[in-house]
Amino acid sequence: MRTQYCRVCGNELSYTFVDLGLSPLANSYVSSSKLQQMEPMYPLRTFVCEHCFLVQVEEFESPQHIFEDYAYFSSFSDSWLEHCSNYATKVTRQFKLSSESNVIEIASNDGYLLQYFQRQHISVVGIEPAVNVAKEAEKKGIPTIVDFFGPALAQKLVSDGVRADLLIGNNVLAHVPELNDFVKGMKMLLCESGVITMEFPHLMKLIQQCQFDTIYHEHYSYFSFTTVYQLFEKHGLQLFDVEELVTHGGSLRIYAKHIDNPEHPITENVGSLLREEETFGIKSMEMYQKYKEEVKKLRRQLVRFLVDLKDSGKTIAGYGAPAKGNTLLNYCGLDKDFLDYTVDRSPHKQNMFLPGSRIPIYSPDYLKETRPDYVLILPWNLKYEIIEQTEYIREWGGKWIVPIPVVEVIN
């Protein structure tokens, strides 16, 4: 076994957080022409650093390979777009952004967020490494740099006279193997009075609600506020505020500035959350050890429930083809013996097959044709949106299954 070192502090890693067995890359959807080919499978094992408490997976594939042709497009969730619109309105007022301001987003995807700033006549620049996704942003009129972010790109932009009044990174920090380089680059790109905001799933919520399916190879790291505070401080950035969000099953939005920037006093939210995490046990290795048993218990519960349904002659379809769903299905050993198919609104995933389980993906209209008895909601964090969109399954007595944090049936 090769020795692993922490991405933040360099400490040698010896504690396993949870081991989810072998799994393919969660976004490596399979085309019909490749169904007879072998898929690469990698250990999906997470470690926790006993020094800075970063939870992290081993790096088997480079970001360049993972994101060269990416299947995730942010604009296919209505609730996520509403979240982004509300955020843009909030920070524009809070930080008095205007036509003189410059907003830069790292991992800007298909322009899902920057469009809301652009509509307010604020200058925007997106940075997105996936060529196919960046093209969609360009179609929206969002200027997009196709590249991976780090000190080299930050230096180039600064040399060209480009700096950020607001620098955004939503759900990107987990995708970065070189965390110190990434945060160093952010500090370089941020103007003296500028603000950074970042959103990422909260490790404490992942543990509290047994969200093991949010672990996959494309997510190199899983963050507590405690760890992120240390990481940013190490690079001369001060976290001055934090918000707890409901997105992705429970996320944090952090606000950062240069440490020597006298604006934006540190709010009570910062100390309060640091204390809450410490009380929870975020610095206790015993707490991390207990988590793996909760994951095994939930796996048995879900498999037992689905076996009973199939044995009683029920039909089950999936809704969604998210990366988290692929971790869930592969760890639990669920394939076409359990789910006849799944559906997804994204045309980029339709007529493909889920990695590992090889479950086919169709348009949501297929639910009306086949009338399944149960629909397993794989992106459970969007369950209310999905139930509203598929309310018609009640016409034939259909029910929804939500697998996380416990198996739940909704009539």
CATH architecture of 286-410: 3-Layer(aba) Sandwich (3.40)
d(CA 362, CA 401): 19
Interior/surface letters 67-76, b for 16+ CB within 10 angstroms, e for the rest: beebbbbbbb
Render pLDDT for 147-203 as a digit per residue (tens, 0 to 9): 999 999 999 999 999 999 999 999 999 999 999 999 999 999 999 999 999 999 999
Render pLDDT for 80-131 as a digit per residue (tens, 0 to 9): 889 999 999 999 999 999 999 999 999 999 898 999 999 999 999 999 998 8
Fold of 148-283: Rossmann fold (3.40.50)
Q: What is the pLDDT of residue 249?
A: 85
List every span in the chain annotated with CATH 3.40.50.720.
286-410
Render pLDDT for 140-160 as a digit per residue (tens, 0 to 9): 999 999 999 999 999 999 999
Q: What is the rounded average pLDDT of the residues 338-365? A: 96
For the chain, give the mean pLDDT. Answer: 94
- Per the model's pLDDT, the better-predicted residue between 93 and 1 turns out to be 93
Which H or E element spans position 307?
helix 285-311
Q: Are 116 and 85 in contact (CB under 8 A)?
A: yes
Output the pTM of the full model: 0.90
Instruction: Provide the 8-state DSSP code for 395.
Output: G
Instruction: Provide the 8-state DSSP code for 247.
Output: G
- pLDDT of residue 211 exceeding 80: yes
Q: What is the pLDDT of residue 62?
A: 65
d(CA 378, CA 398): 16
List every span in the chain annotated with CATH 3.40.50.150.
148-283
Instruction: Give percent above pLDDT 70 in the chain.
Output: 96
